[in-house]
Each structure stands twice: as C-alpha cells, then as structure tokens.
Amino acid sequence: MSPTAPPGPDAQTAPVLLDRAGLQALVDALVARGFDVIGPTLRDGAIVYDRIADLAALPAGWTDRQEAGRYRLERRADAALFGYAVGPQSWKRFLHPPEETLWRARRQDDGFTITPEPPSPAPFAFLGVRACELHAIAIQDRVFLGGAHRDPGYAARRQGAFLVALNCGTAAGTCFCASMGTGPRAESGFDLALTELIDAARHDFLAVAGSEAGAALLAVLPTRPAGPEATAAAEAVLARTEAGMGRHLDTNGLKERLQANPEHPRWDEVAARCLACANCTLVCPTCFCTSVADHTDLAGTEATRVKRWDSCFTADFSFIHGGSVRASGKSRYRQWLTHKLAHWIDQFGSSGCVGCGRCIAWCPVGIDITAEAAAIRAMPGKAVGEGKGGNA
C-alpha cells in the first residue's frame, strides 16, 4: 500500500473463498515473505494484538461485550476466529509505538557523534484490521506523512506494512462507525479484505484484494471461486453488523456547535467525572501526541533522545514557561473532545473520530464521547456563533 494514496475505493479483485486451512496458508505465506505477522490473541482477559504464527493463537469462539467503562470476554456459540469487535489496543501500537528511541549520541574528545536508530526490522503484516481501524490508519497517515514534516520512523513502518482487513461480523455496544461513515465495511486502504462466513455448514473467508500486492498473494493461496450465494452471505454479515451498532453520533453541524460552546456547563459536569487519567487518548487509534525526552548516563558520555506517547490530559504536556496551559480537568477534556470532533476537521480535513468506541469502553468511569457531544448539541449553554449546518 502506498501510505500517501488518497482515500477512495481501490481496485478490487473478484471475491474468492478461503477455508480455514487457506487462511493458515495466508499467514504462512506472509511469514515466508518476511513479514512480522500481528493478529488478535487472548491475553489478560482481553483480545489484544500480538505476534502470531498460527491460527491457533486467534481467539476462536470468543467475543467481547462492551459498554461504557466495561469490557468482558464471552464465549460464542460458534468457533469464529474474528467474532469480536475491537480490543483495547489498536494498530497504532505498531505503526506509532509507545516509545521510540530517535537517536543516541556519544561524547568524543572534540565533540560528539550521533548514531541514528537502526530502521525497524521486519515489515508488519496486520491480520484482522477493521474498517474503523483502516480509517484510523489513513488519518494517522495524514498526520505523520501529509504535512511538511514527515515522521521518518512512521513512514518506514507504514510503507512496508501489509494490511489484511476484516469486514466486521459483530458490533459492540460501544461501536458507532456506521454514523461516522467509517464502517463496518472495509472499502479501501487494504491489501486484502476478508469476510468471515460461519454457520453449521461452513467456515470460510470471502476474500478480495485491494492492491497489487494483495492480488499477487491471493493468487498463490488455495482459493475457490465465490458464488453469488457467498457474496450475498457476506453482505448479510455487514448488514447485521451495521444494524447492531450500540451507539450513534450525530455529526451534522457538530463541529460548529462544539466550537461555539467553549463555556458550556456540560464541560464542568463531565470534568467532575473525568479522572484525567489519559486512558481515552491512549486507546484512541488516531490520537498521536508524543513528548520527547533527553536522557544522559551517569558518566556524561552517552545521551539518548526518546519519543513516547503523551496525552493532552497530562499537565506536563501543555507545560510552557510559567505553567501548564490546561491546568483544569475541564480544559483538558474540552481540548480532547473539541480537537477530536471539531478542530481536527480544520487541521486535517476529517474528523479525528472513527467510531471504534474504545474511549467509551476503556474509560474507567465510562465517560461516553457520543453522550457528551449529544449533551452539548441538545442544550446550548450560550447561543453564540450558531454555526451553519447546526440542527440542534
């Protein structure tokens, strides 16, 4: 995939079917081509993304039940491999890692030498990327690669990545991609897209290629043609998932409404509940903020510059000369929500939210971005600058 390709439907091949052994053959082929294959697996009571070599590592027969501040694994009636919505982690963890050493420096007699970090080792192949996550990756592409200052580490990891998307077969109570226009169908930005078809008679994966690399790989796998019945079954899976969305966000005029209400009383109300713990930003697949720190060793001969995930919910993050710009929890929550749903559109040309619901589920006190946005829409605090398109 070219990470700079504009969004839009990629050329897709005619659908074919893979059975479970065929899916294992896909994993094997990716491993054989030198990819570091990352997929879903069970750990610590959640479905996380980690290195896999065998389908046995996948969460067969498990699903996730999610509500605000609550995530629980449950058994499914079948042995679906991708029968869950989304877990606590996103692919951000791999493309935009939590901590990255930028360079090291060593003192010499007459100055110092800088050693850049070696580039990432094996390229990643991601197995089971949801439509919301494809959109999140496209958003981070714009953030890290779309401007004048490209992030070389992100570019290297992203350039080599092979994306196997998955059309969602289940929606969580916290899902709202349908209302964000970001799912549940994987429309573009993937190399291969799968739809899991499982019932008493079969366990197949309807596959289409979305790139030349995807088509080339599909060509060497043991596939069989997908008839109209299989295609219709895949459509039914998507329709059922779309109907099962637990949440909804009305984005019509929302940007203007949020930007017109910086002193809405709801910000105080949510601040009373908000822990300012930063969980929402860290589980968000598009939140990209980092801080950079320099370390030196005891002898004063080596220095290291590291970049790591940070958050608009920490005081340090907005600390400038004289203090933190956002001292209160209210100002931090307002910054996050208005950036995500409003200013992001001005800055990057799209909403920063893809409707994955992670910030809702993984907030320890269950603050719900859709409810907060709806509250500000429904009850204008002070009707200033009523934006065009506002419909509240």
Partner 1 sequence: MDARLPSTRPRPTLAVWKFASCDGCQLSLLDCEDELLAVAGALDIAYFAEASSTLRPGPYDLSLVEGSITTAQDAERIRAVRAASKYLITIGACATAGGIQALRNFADVNDYIAAVYATPAYISTLATSTPIAAHVKVDFALHGCPINKTQLLEVISALLAGRKPDIPNESVCVACKRRGTPCVMVAHGTPCLGPVTRAGCGAICPAYQRGCYGCYGPAEAANTAALAAAWIALGADRTSLHRAFRSFNAAAEPFRKESDAHGDENHPG
What are the residues binding partner 1 (CB under 8 A)? 43-46, 48, 69-72, 87-89, 93, 98-99, 107, 272-279, 282-283, 293-301, 308-311, 314-316, 328-329, 361-366
CB of 356 to partner 1, least distance (A): 15
CB closer to partner 1 out of 167 and 174: 174
Q: Where are the alpha helices (DSSP H) in the chain?
A: 20-32, 92-95, 131-145, 152-159, 177-180, 212-219, 228-243, 254-259, 265-273, 279-283, 329-338, 344-348, 358-361, 369-378
Q: How many residues does the chain have?
A: 392
Q: Are 77 and 375 in contact (CB under 8 A)?
A: no
CA-CA distances (angstroms) from residue 248 to 180, 354, 359?
Answer: 8, 12, 14
CB closer to partner 1 out of 252 and 301: 301
CB of 164 to partner 1, least distance (A): 21
CB closer to partner 1 out of 221 and 363: 363
CB closer to partner 1 out of 162 and 362: 362
CB of 358 to partner 1, least distance (A): 10
CB closer to partner 1 out of 312 and 342: 312
- 352: tokens are 């920063």
CB of 298 to partner 1, least distance (A): 4
CB of 365 to partner 1, least distance (A): 5
Q: What angle do CA 4, 7, 9 make, to 5 degrees?
A: 125
Sort 371 into a burial class: Cβ within 10 Å, 0-12 / 13-18 / 19+.
middle
